Structures are given as C-alpha cells and as structure tokens.
Amino acid sequence: MNAKKKFDHSNDLVFLPLGGTGEIGMNCYCYGVGPADDRQWLMVDLGVKFGEETDPGIDVILPDVGFIASDKANLHGIVLTHAHEDHLGAVAWLWPQLQCPVYCTPFAAQILALKLKEAGLDEEVPVKVIPVGSKFTAGPFHLEYISVTHSIPEPTALLIKTKQGTVLHSGDWKIDRTPVLGQGMDEKRLRAIGDEGVDVLVCDSTNVLREGFSPSEAQVADTIAAIVAEAKGRVAVTTFASHVDRISTAVRAARATGREVVIAGRAMRNTIEAARACGMLKDSGRLLDEEEFGYLPPDKVMLLCTGSQGEPRAAIARIAEDQHPHVSLDPGDLVLFSSKTIPGNEKEVSRVLNNLARLDIDVITGEDALVHSSGHPRQDELKLLYDWVRPRALIPMHGEPRHLRAHAIFARKHGIEDVVIPRDGHITKLMPGPLRQIDEAHFGRLHVDGRLIVPSEDGPAKQRRKLSFVGIILVSVAVNSKQDLAADIEVVTDGLPHGLQDGLQEAAEKAFEGTPKPRRRDVNVLGETIRTSVRRHADQIWGKKPIVKVVVHEV
Amino acid sequence: MNAKKKFDHSNDLVFLPLGGTGEIGMNCYCYGVGPADDRQWLMVDLGVKFGEETDPGIDVILPDVGFIASDKANLHGIVLTHAHEDHLGAVAWLWPQLQCPVYCTPFAAQILALKLKEAGLDEEVPVKVIPVGSKFTAGPFHLEYISVTHSIPEPTALLIKTKQGTVLHSGDWKIDRTPVLGQGMDEKRLRAIGDEGVDVLVCDSTNVLREGFSPSEAQVADTIAAIVAEAKGRVAVTTFASHVDRISTAVRAARATGREVVIAGRAMRNTIEAARACGMLKDSGRLLDEEEFGYLPPDKVMLLCTGSQGEPRAAIARIAEDQHPHVSLDPGDLVLFSSKTIPGNEKEVSRVLNNLARLDIDVITGEDALVHSSGHPRQDELKLLYDWVRPRALIPMHGEPRHLRAHAIFARKHGIEDVVIPRDGHITKLMPGPLRQIDEAHFGRLHVDGRLIVPSEDGPAKQRRKLSFVGIILVSVAVNSKQDLAADIEVVTDGLPHGLQDGLQEAAEKAFEGTPKPRRRDVNVLGETIRTSVRRHADQIWGKKPIVKVVVHEV
C-alpha cells in the first residue's frame, strides 16, 4: 500500500477500475474518498469474464481485487448495477476476500442468491436489497439507483454523491422508450440530476462506434411476432438466458399463434424463476419441460432455449447435432437466433449454423431481420444522455481500448472537454480540479481452474498452453550405487507424433552411456544431459522442442 | 477401392470433393471418367486450411488424398485455378503421394516454385505452365483456363470437357469490370461456352448470402487514394500478402502523394517478386526495405505490410505492440486495414486494433470506408454467370454448409433445378442423367505437425488438447526384488495448480503401501492402483482429472 502514500490528496474523489476498461467483461470499478493513506472505498460491480482458448482449461476469469482486499476495513460495500455475469458473476468467488455488504436490486438478489448458495455463502454475505429508484448510503457514499433500460430486468445507473463531488456511473444502458418490461429509462430523474449538477459521467462505451439510435425492444417484438405467425413448422428461439424481456416477447409471440412454450436450458429456467419471484412473467402461462416437446404438433410448439453463443453443451448446439435427448427438429422447421454473436464466439456460432444447415433447417439471425437489439447506447443515445446530465468531465468505460478511445474522441466532439481514458489499475483523481491520473494500484486477473482460484500469469493455464503446442516426454532412470542402470530407462510421451518412441529411447540411452561414471553421480548433471539429448532428438525428427522431464532414482 | 465396384457406371462423369465443401479452405476437387473400377481422375486445386485453436500446435491442415493416391496411375494431373494458399498450398506437401503433372498459370508457377524449392521438390515436380485463356489436355480431360477476376493475379475458371459431358469449375471469382491489373473477366468466352453447352456449373458459394454486386477494385483504389491524399502523418496499409492488385493500388496512392513505399513482411516481398517476374508491378518503382522507414519524413512514407488477419508475428501486430525493430508509428499516424477479417480471426484482429488504439493511432478498416472489396460473387454476380453459362445443373462449392445450402436454394430460385449439395467424400454422378450421389470415398484431414504429416483424428493434437485442459502427472516408482521401494517415489507434474504436490506424493505412497506385496509383483496392477489413487486425489482437491502416467522400474 506504499503507492498510496506518494501523494497527499486528502480531499480527492478517485476512480480505480480493476477490470472493464481494457476488454469486454469482468467489470469492477472502485471509487475512493478521503486522505490517500486512509481512503474509503466503494466497489461498483464485480463481474467475471469467460475464458478463451488462449487460457486452456479456464472457464471463468476474475479481477484480482487484492489491492482493495488488503484494505477491506475501508470498503463500505459492493454495489451491483444489474445481474449480468460480467457485473455480478465474481461476487460469490471474491466476497470471502472482501467481506462487506452487497447492494443490489430485487432481481439481481435472486440471481445472486443462487450463486451464493452454490458457493455455500448464502448465510454469510449481507445482501441489501434496494428497489430501483431508491436512495441508500454506504459509508461516505450517498447512492441512488436510477432506472435505465438494458437487456436484463432492473438495470440501473448509479448516482454517487460524496462531499467531494458527484458521479453518475452509467452501468450498462440504452434508451428504449418502448421496453416490454420494467420501469423504463428514468429520463426525468436523469434531467433532474443534471440540473443538480454532475461532475463526472462514467459511461458505457460498447456501441460508440455505431451511429444513430438502437431499435427498441418493441420493434424486436413486432418482428418476432410476425415471423412466428408465418412459421408453418416448429419454431425454436434461442437468446441470452438472462434476457427476460426477450423471453417475454417470444412467449407472447407463441401465445398469439396458439403455440405451447417449451423451455430448454438450466440457466434460462433459473432466470425465469428469478423473474417470477420478482413479479415478472406472471401472464406467460405454463412453460413446459423439454420432455414434452416431442408430443406437440409442429405448428403448436415453440422451443425457447439457450446456446445463442454457440456454447457446445447448450440446447441449440445439441439439437443442431441431432443429439438432444428430447428435442429434434425436421427440415423446414425454423430456428431464430434472437441474439448477437459476442466477439470471440463467431466460430462456435458458425458451427451451430452449419449443423442446422446440414439438417436443412431454416435459420433467421439478427443479420436477416430485426430479431435482436443491443442493450448498449449508440451515438445518438450517448448525445442525449450528455444533454440530460451535462457532466463536467467524462470517463469512458465498458469496452476494448478502441471503444474507449473512440468514446473519448466522441465526447470531446460533443462538448465534454475533460476526458481521461482509464486503464485498469490507474487511480484517476475525479475531483477537485481536472481529471488526472495520480497513482497506480496493483491489478490483474485470476483464473478459476477447476474449483481453485489460481494466478493467471505464470499459472497452470500458461504451462498447459505450452504443453498443447509441444507435448511432453518423461524419462525415468534408475541408477545403482555403481552408477550403472538398475533397470531399463523408461520413456513416456504424451502429445507427440507416433514413430518417435524408439529414437527417443535410444537418445536417452546414448546420453546415459555417454556420461562418464563420475559425472553420473551428480543426479542433476545426468538428468540435464539426458533431457538435452532427448529434446534435441525430438527437434531433429519432428521440428519441435517438447517439454522433457527426467527423473533419476538412486537405488 | 472396393467401394468403387459397387455400381457399374462406366460411362459416368463423376465429381468427388476431398476438401472445400464443408468448410472454408483446403479446396480439393476430383473429376473422374470411365468405368468405376478403372476411373481416370483429374484433381482441381490442392489447398491447405490453417489450423485453429482446437488443434493446438497445428498451423496447417491438408486434405487426405489417400483415395486418389492409391490409384495414382489413373490421376492425369492436378490443375490449379489460382495461387491462393487454400487452392495451391498443399501441393508441396502431398505431391509425393500423387506424382503427376501440375498445371498452373505463370504467376501460380512462381508462387509454387518457392514452395517446391523449400520442400526440396523443385527438380521433381513436372509443372506445366499454361497461360490464362489457353487450352490444354490431361489424359481424357480437355481443359481451358478462362480468365476471371478475383483478389490475386491470373485467377481462372476451368472448363472441363470430356466425352461424357462438359463442366465449368468456377474457381474463386467475382465480376469486376474495372480491375486494376490483369485480363479481366472473359465474359465473351463465358457466353460462348454457354452457347456451346455446359452440363454442370460447379460454383463458388462464399458470398451467396450477400445481395447485390461487389464493388470493383477501381472503387477501392479511388477510396484509398483519397484517404492517403488527406493523411498528414505516416500511413501504413496492411492487406493480404498475395493481393497484388491491392499492392498496386496502394503504391499508386503513395506515388500520387510523393510518398516512398516501404515493404514489411516476407510473404508480401515474395508476392511482389513473383508478380514482377510475370511482368506486373513494373511501374511501381523502387520499393524500400523496412530499415529505411525511420529515415523518411512522416508525410513522405507509406508502409505496406502483412498482418491484416492479426497474425501475431506479422509486421502490423509488432508495430501495434511497439515491438517492431525498424518501424514505429506515432499518435495521429494512420493504419489502413485494406482487408476483411476472415471468420475465426476476429479476436486476433481485435487485439491489433486495440493495441493501435492504445498508441493513439488512427485506424480505417473496411467497416469505415470502401478500402476493401471481396473477391467472391454476390447474388447479382451469380445470376449473371448463370445467364452467361446456362448450365443444366449446379453444384455449390467453396463455403460452409450454410453457404452451400443457401446457394442451392438460390440457384433453384433462379431456374437451375438440378442442384446437389456435395459433401467431402461423396461421389456424385454428374453425367449422364440428373445429379445423383452414387458412392462414397474415404476422405479426411491431415495435420502438419512440426515437419511431420500426422493423422488429425486421434492424432497428437487431440492428445495435446486434452493436456491443455487437465495437465499431466508422471509418477515413477522403483521396486526391488522384495517388492519394497528401492528409492523414493517421484511425482512430476505439468500444468497443475501449485499446492497439489505434497498431496499427490502422499497419495502415490499410500497407494503403494496399501498394495499387498504379492500384488506389487504385477507391474500393471501396481501402476494402475497408483494411477487411480493419484488421479482421485487431484480430482478431490482440484475438481479436474489430470492425465496420470505411472512408470514402474523393477530393479
């Protein structure tokens, strides 16, 4: 914590992102007030990012919150803006390090409860349920959840008032004036807080490269209703499991055409239960289980399922491979991808689309018709929010570096001159005076590997990535007290081409024989001689240098 | 070859794709005539596909041509339609199995020569250089290269005449009426062969999902010229290394604004040399080496470089990381991505774009301006070719299954009723009578792993993929004649989280001790007991089951 002491900024309001400003996902933003050596912290959002192929065996990535955890007595709460995984998903993993109250809306509380229960933390974590539109306080932070529109129930922007100044933290949002569920965007309140004065807007940058205004959920609903009304055979709709608005839209399209609705996918079932517990989807009637799908006439059924990102174990992927235990589709049936492909998932989605094509099943995606609309603001929506809130300064968040840079250029072009592009770990002074980076904090990522949390840098995933390119050779040698072999040298390989075995064995034996007896006494020398020789042989034949480990038993 | 004998189709003309009808890349199409047990073959194109993350350590994938190789006395030639890797790249790898003449145009011959030389085959392979527009004969196949337009010099469609019937194999093509290099699309000849009669059109499906007509290379050239004319600082243009038209376009834009042109990237240098050897790029002047970049004023230089697909070792990726030995860019300099992102490369390209954003460098891609146009036909171009050629039947090729299906639907809608969607390994009878699948041939893929060609199924890449998820544990035991340990048990791990080591060691020791002496005599039983026990321990702590290999030395 030495870093904190470099400056005296006792009257500062500072901003410290620990995730979410350099890549999509894993959102974690900290606000601090007070003297640098006794800063009081508030954390906004604590999300995960999903693993990529470059980190093999890693499904979930967490922000390293060690910097805040080491000062946890000064952490007054974690406030969740909404229930998406990239904003809420890390709480159950990291709360034990942070040990503070968690504030969230009723719907987010339902989703969080499932995760805490799974982690055995449901009795421990003090979850404070705050209705959308309410004010609350966490230490020196006076907070207010302001209703916005997004692609999940109860999305909020967070107004953060401190004696040092006022920040509007936008969360994920768009301006949808005809949403199908929820309270809608609270334009009135946003204008009012603009009148009251906002120093800094910390703002979603995801869609800043897109011109214009996002289509409304109501337009999407009209399109889906029209498509379902025309369908002659079975209809399957796949969307994000958490997108309750879209689930509601699909169910209404089904009901309007006399179709029963079958749900496939545990995550979607969980969402529906959470929504119903919060009073949503009350009029959607009975939703059937996948076992019932096969008994319904093709024109009397809609399947609502997970897998819109091509996840290989999700319902639609298995249906496309004709491997689902209860659901199968026939030529001429229709699958609606009511989703967008998140960058990085293109290949997986493509695989599902190709499998459906092989089964001669019709597919409609967001590229063919308005069956999806993003939950993030395009340029005209950003301009409107700027107009309502009139912030003195802006920090772009949520996005890759190119989005953050484009947002900075865009904001300056639209009259907000004080803009700083944040980087994870940078401590930016928001108030008083202009935005300025004043310090740095440790940040990083953690991998969830099996059931363990492990470091991402030089961790096991990195070792495994190396293994995945070059494979491994184990050589085991038993040497007796005369420095002779006590048994045959054993060579075991994994991930190598066939046909190398004999040569490797020979290389190991030659290396042993070529080592003079006195030198064999030094197990390290002997091991290294064999290792080098075996590795060189593999390289000569194969053109790759595998990992070689040598064990020497002295018997 | 038993499969061939099932039917008697002695008068058939058949089509057998061994790659290119189920995925993008790795094109390899075979045409056969004569009796089923003595079919005479022609191979059209023999390309590679690049490895994906799902095949770790594999850069290049080849079609398995074993079915044809086993009958190579009846193979009369390999005809290459153009010089792209996915049409030509496998020749140097697979020719030793096929041992037949290779027919190609002068430019393709230049590109092929480099590869054959690298493989030490340049003296062996009989390469027959055929000018675009010429007729030639390979066994019973009467052939003609017809000039088309595409994104590489000398692209051709191949007219295949046999006594059984006539096929037009389209190769990769678009209709560009104002190309910047080359002979252009030979509309006259295509109309003439339509008049002469074409039985089957085997046709590019890559862009069938896109409406309208592709922009011309001349429009792209105008856009690039205008952008370069306005640029104040350095300009870097990255495009496909083989896209000589685009290289010519960029060089002309540079010359028009008094900029020197610096080339970075070996593949692009090779292309330029090949083009010059064929009389192209003669007026492009001196092209400088990357060492000279730093000495030129920012407004007097254009860098032309590789890396448009985000390849991490290519020039633009290293420049974006500020790691290039000779080239660096400053804020306000401009990078033009004169390319499209090939599906699957989105993440890699994104990484480069983000790194450039971090350096505050401006970027223009095909999403911002018409700085690239695809080399494949959109719907209106397909319709024109149908009109010119008037085939009786059509086989869609080049594309994923969803493109092939969409092309089949599109062709039927436009009056070609006899359409069959091919699958790799299916033998389709083209003539006489309607298209019909009559047989199947063995097909598959081969991996280039280091310098070896290995099987893709159950090959080393699959083993390594498993390693990459779960890691490996190697246990080595030395047992003496009394069935006691002759030395400590050694446990070596790779790709496992820290902190497991002691527990694994203990599990191995307990398993040994828990095995009664008589049972220790059976090395397999002892090994399996230890393996199971160690694996179970890892699973209990970690939640994953690593690969465990046990070596037992009897000393």
Residue A520 has a CB neighbour count (10 Å cut-off) of 20
Look at residue A9 in the predicted model and tell me its pLDDT. Answer: 61
Look at residue A443 in the predicted model and tell me its pLDDT. Answer: 93
CA distance A427 to A437: 6
Integer CA distances (angstroms), B176 to A355, B151, B248, in order? 33, 10, 16
In percent, how much of chain A has pLDDT > 70? 98
Q: Is residue B169 part of a domain?
A: yes
Q: Does residue B178 sit in the same domain as residue B261?
A: no
Binary contact (A486, B555; C-beta < 8 A): yes
Binary contact (B350, A363; C-beta < 8 A): no
Reference A373, options A187, A249, A204; nearest CA is A249
CA distance A246 to A538: 55
Cα torsion at B92, B97, B103, B104 (round to 10°)?
A: -20
Integer CA distances (angstroms), A539 to A325, A469, A503, A531, B451, in order? 47, 13, 11, 12, 10
Q: Does residue B260 sit in the same domain as residue B193?
A: no
Q: Does residue B294 sit in the same domain as residue B237?
A: yes
β-strand partners of B102: B78, B127
Q: Does residue A73 sit in the same domain as residue A153?
A: yes
Q: Is residue A266 part of a domain?
A: yes
The residue in chain B having the minimum alpha-carbon distance to the alpha carbon of residue A344 is B347
Q: Is residue B247 part of a domain?
A: yes
ipTM, two decimals, is: 0.92
Residue A279 has a CB neighbour count (10 Å cut-off) of 10
Residue A184 zone, left/alpha/beta (φ > 0; ψ -120 to 50; rest)? left
Sheet of B235-238: strand order equals B288-289, B260-264, B301-305, B235-238, B334-337, B362-364
Burial of B207 (C-beta count, 10 Å sphere; 0-12/13-18/19+): buried
Residue A542's SS3 state is: helix
Return the number of CB contacts < 8 Å for A and B.
212
A272 and A282 Cβ atoms separated by less than 8 Å: no
Look at residue A4 in the predicted model and tell me its pLDDT. Answer: 44
β-strands A75-79, A102-104: how paired? parallel
Binary contact (B356, A402; C-beta < 8 A): yes
| Cβ neighbours of A470 in B, within 8 Å | 57, 464
Q: Is residue A257 part of a domain?
A: yes
Taking the CA of residue B366 and the nearest CA in chain A, the distance in Å comes to: 13
Q: Is residue B463 part of a domain?
A: no
CA distance A349 to A250: 21
Q: What is the rounded end-to-end Cα distance, in angstroms, of chain A?
A: 51
Taking the CA of residue A511 and the nearest CA in chain B, the distance in Å comes to: 19
B467 and B546 Cβ atoms separated by less than 8 Å: no
A64 and A18 Cβ atoms separated by less than 8 Å: yes
β-strands A49-50, A58-63: how paired? antiparallel
Domain final residue, candidates A423, A451, A479: A451
Look at residue B25 in the predicted model and tell me its pLDDT. Answer: 86
Reference B483, options B514, B510, B519; nearest CA is B519
Residues 6+ apart with CB under 8 A from B314: B265, B305, B306, B307
Reference A408, options A419, A398, A418; nearest CA is A419
Binary contact (B472, A472; C-beta < 8 A): yes
B551 and B491 Cβ atoms separated by less than 8 Å: no
Taking the CA of residue B357 and the nearest CA in chain A, the distance in Å comes to: 5
Domain final residue, candidates A364, A392, A417: A364
Residues 6+ apart with CB under 8 A from B99: B72
| Cβ neighbours of A402 in B, within 8 Å | 350, 353-354, 356-357, 363
Q: Is residue A369 part of a domain?
A: no
Q: Where are the alpha helices (DSSP H) in B66-149?
A: 66-69, 85-88, 91-98, 106-118
CA distance A423 to A514: 55
CA distance A81 to B446: 50
CA distance B451 to B454: 10
Average pLDDT per block of 10 residues along chain B, 555 residues long:
51 94 89 93 97 91 97 97 98 98 98 97 97 98 98 98 97 96 96 98 97 97 98 97 96 97 95 96 93 96 97 96 96 96 91 96 96 97 98 96 97 97 96 95 96 93 97 97 96 96 97 95 96 98 98 96
Instruction: State mean pLDDT over A191-210.
Output: 97
Output the DSSP codes for A61-121.
EEE--HHHHTTGGGEEEEE-S---HHHHTTHHHHHHHH---EEE-HHHHHHHHHHHHHTT-
Domain final residue, candidates B393, B428, B455: B455
Q: Any idea what the CATH number is for the domain that residue B480 is in?
A: 3.10.20.580
Q: Is residue A207 part of a domain?
A: yes
| Cβ neighbours of B465 in A, within 8 Å | 56, 468
Q: Does residue B251 sit in the same domain as residue B359?
A: yes
Look at residue B114 in the predicted model and tell me its pLDDT. Answer: 96
Look at residue A1 in the predicted model and tell me its pLDDT. Answer: 41
Beta strands in B350-487 (DSSP E): 362-364, 393-397, 418-419, 426-431, 436-440, 445-449, 452-455, 472-479
Burial of A544 (C-beta count, 10 Å sphere; 0-12/13-18/19+): buried
Rounded to 5 degrees, φ, ψ at B361 are -100, 135
Q: Does residue A208 sit in the same domain as residue A253?
A: no
Residue type, B403: H
| Cβ neighbours of A53 in B, within 8 Å | 53-54
B466 and B54 Cβ atoms separated by less than 8 Å: no
Q: Does residue A287 sit in the same domain as residue A305?
A: yes
Q: How many domains does chain A have?
A: 3
Q: Does residue B227 sit in the same domain as residue B208?
A: no
CA distance A550 to A405: 50
Residues 6+ apart with CB under 8 A from B380: B211, B212, B213
Would you give the DSSP letter of residue A315? Answer: H
Q: Is residue B260 part of a domain?
A: yes
Q: Does residue A142 sit in the same domain as residue A279?
A: no
β-strands A547-554, B40-44: how paired? unpaired
Q: Which domain holds residue A308?
A: 217-364
Q: Does residue B281 sit in the same domain as residue B250?
A: yes
For chain A, what is the radius of gyration of the CA atoms?
A: 28
Taking the CA of residue A535 and the nearest CA in chain B, the distance in Å comes to: 14
Candidate from B357, B474, B490 with C-beta closest to A402: B357
The answer to whether the peptide bond before residue A546 is cis (omega within 30 degrees of 0) is no
Q: What is the rounded end-to-end Cα distance, in angstroms, of chain B?
A: 51
Would you give the DSSP letter of residue A32? Answer: E
Residue reference for tokens 């390090």: A97
Beta strands in A398-479 (DSSP E): 418-419, 426-431, 436-440, 445-449, 452-455, 472-479
Q: Any idea what the CATH number is for the domain that residue A321 is in?
A: 3.40.50.10710
Residue A482's SS3 state is: coil
Q: Any idea what the CATH number is for the domain that residue A45 is in?
A: 3.60.15.10
**pLDDT surpassing 70 at residue A38:** yes
The residue in chain A having the minimum alpha-carbon distance to the alpha carbon of residue B487 is A555
The overall longest dimension of chain A from CA atoms, in Å, is: 90
Q: Does residue B160 sit in the same domain as residue B12?
A: yes
The residue in chain A having the minimum alpha-carbon distance to the alpha carbon of residue B341 is A346
Q: Does residue B43 sit in the same domain as residue B167?
A: yes
The answer to whether the peptide bond before residue B460 is cis (omega within 30 degrees of 0) is no
Binary contact (A551, B490; C-beta < 8 A): yes
